[in-house]
Structure 1
Amino acid sequence: VRTYKLDTVLLILKCTQESKGCSWYIRAAKIAGSDFFSVTRYRSKHTCSRAVQSSSNCRRRGNPRLVAAVLHEDYPGQFDTPVPKTIVDVVHRRAGVTVSYSTALRGKQLHVSDVRGTPEEGYRMLFSYLYMLEQENPGTKTNVQLDADNRFEYLFVALGASIEGFQ
């Protein structure tokens, strides 16, 4: 399989034996408003010999984004994933591609980053979280201290139940 066209909205893959008349083909278009592609055309039959190998004789390799996608499916919303050595086997079994230990590690880190979000996203949500914490836990006290440049310095949280327990 070789990539014939790849851009932000369209993906076309064709058989490497297309020049010899093989008609295998897949076309996918990006679904509006998402990161997913939808297959729009697919010719499933290879008309070339199945025994024909690509002239480059290279193995299919995965990248960290593929590893993260496999982990998203197997461990949705979880930080706790297998060790990279196990991830190498999982990706090979699930996606049929080989990845190195370091690629598996980078994919695992990408998965955790996707689940956790960036520090900037977390900071933007901090004040809403603290407000809801005070609303849902009577007696809870929170305080965010910022420095002279309006940068985060420290955070204080005392849960209402803990305050009540000390009185």
Structure 2
Amino acid sequence: MAAQDGVTQEPAGSPASPGDPDHRLGFLLAYHGGITETVIRKALATTGLTPRKTMTLLQLADGPVTQKALIERLDVDPSVLVALLNDLEGDDLVRRRRDPADRRRHIVEITSEGNSRLRKSDVALDTVERELFADLSERELTTLRRLLDKLRTSPEDFSCTEA
């Protein structure tokens, strides 16, 4: 440890001390996540989409999906999905239809306008990600993805969220 002006400093790469905000990885992740979300929202605003609408269109990009499958993939309440699909359908970005095999189910599919808007959002997100990850190598990006996949971020994972 090097002393500078009577203050002890940790060498580069050392773990942060408990009094240092960087010591709290959850806060650090939330801080960077908040900034990233703001930048993504601004970039997507140029396409007329929100992150949630973009994520929904991404789920539909490979073909039609049942409304129930979308609820599971997006991990949202059914009422939230209905409101989201109402907005997307109103903008002619998705289409809902009854499943001919089971009239109780709805099939959701992306429209050509939805595909066009999704391509624009991809360009906007590519720009954000290029800037956001500019200082990371491909190997570091692969490691980051692997580590993020290991995070327990489902509400069911946390006992402190139960009332």
TM-score exceeds 0.5: no
Which structure shows the higher helix fraction?
2
Which structure shows the higher strand fraction?
1
TM-score (norm 2): 0.26
| Highest RCO, 1 vs 2 (Cα 8 Å, sep ≥ 6) | 2
